[in-house]
Structure 1
Amino acid sequence: MARVKVCPTCGYQNKSKALLCTNTEPKCNARLMNVVPTKPKPVEESAVGNVMASKTVTSTEPNLEIEDVIENPSSTSDCQHVLREGSDQCVYCLDVVGAGSTKPTEGAITPRMGIRLSHNEQFIEIADRVLVGRDQSISPIAEHIPLSFDNISRRHAELWVEGGKAYVKDAGSTNGTFINGDKLAAEVEQPVKAGDEIRFAADYTVIWEVCHG
């Protein structure tokens, strides 16, 4: 005969793997993690009244079983146990995890975005809006542009990252800005993704990269 866990609070007989009491009349939810499964007691020997004793382990209420506690991205802030699938309450500490309180993966690394200069393989991270051009007083990229690329305008283009996405915009340059060979319309922002080639004027190219390390 299958063993059961007898709730120490209300006397209800739960399945042997239940973590919380599933009695609904009245609702109990007492913790059963430390209760040792025993042989089920006859109905007349139940520690509670006839109404309680008549409720058997065949209840249609779902039990919280060990097999049901599977990995879920949400976890409570204190006990660190993962939640069972589809639930917002931890079966260990009974904390309720509300919307928006999902704990980020521990050790997660925010990707670094930027450009890889084709002429020397140097990587330059782009976090905010950056102006690309030959004028060092307004462009932090200017010092990385060799003097031989004199066809790049003083204010050639803009690069920036917003909401985890990258964009480029030609700033009205004389010789144009290109993504994978396609010329951009002036003053119109265009999204770029990892691996895209961005060319300023005739031959100064960079590769947009996303570094996860």
Structure 2
Amino acid sequence: MIVCPNCNHQNPDSAQICEACYTPLPAMTACPNCGATIQSDALFCGQCGTHLKPSESGSVQVASQSEASVPEVPELVPPDPLVEPEPLVETSALLSEVEVPSPPPLPKQSSSPAVQPPPLPVAVSSQTQLQQQIAQLLHVRSSQAIELPSHLSVIHVGKPNDRIPPDIDVSGFPDSDVVSRVHADIRVEGDSYYIEDVGSANGTYINNVPLAMGNRHRLRPGDRIALGKNDLVTFIFQIA
């Protein structure tokens, strides 16, 4: 099936125009390595990760190893010769040559009680506090930053509704009418953040590339997230 990049409608493999919105569909072909369905101008297979080289006819082929640049390995420098250690001298011979001074006589004890010195102050060590990373979405048009909740493993992005209330409400931003009420989810797994479209009407775009519904994209600092068409409601993913 070919997913329409405009409305996410699933079309037959032989379709050239979307059956729902009449948008031209991208040309598809099969990966020469694993046989998965990919776009003809793809550089990498999304299934097996094989590097593909587009041909003049529009098909793709696996790039040969001879075309990849092989880094030059510098010649190894021979190490310096080891220095022979000096011979060890027996400890008993050294002790016989050293004169051990006799200990000084002990002072006489007085009948008056000894004065105890004041106790030394005890230094209190401060515990080191680990700094946690803070992820946020920076709205491009208003430069307003929205911090992602650190206590949630699934963060809902959208507008107020009776089905799934959003954790990040974008209804106050300009042109938010292109954003669905239940638009996208950001999932937190350890130190990694993933975004997926959950069935929005106008789609989700990562770095100007449409994200198919149900597919997850691992967010990296600087990724551009557009909620809806025409790049009207756009955020930059940041980690502080």
Q: TM class, shorter-chain normalised?
A: 0.3 to 0.5
Larger Rg: 2
Q: What TM-score do the two structures reach when normalised by structure 1?
A: 0.48
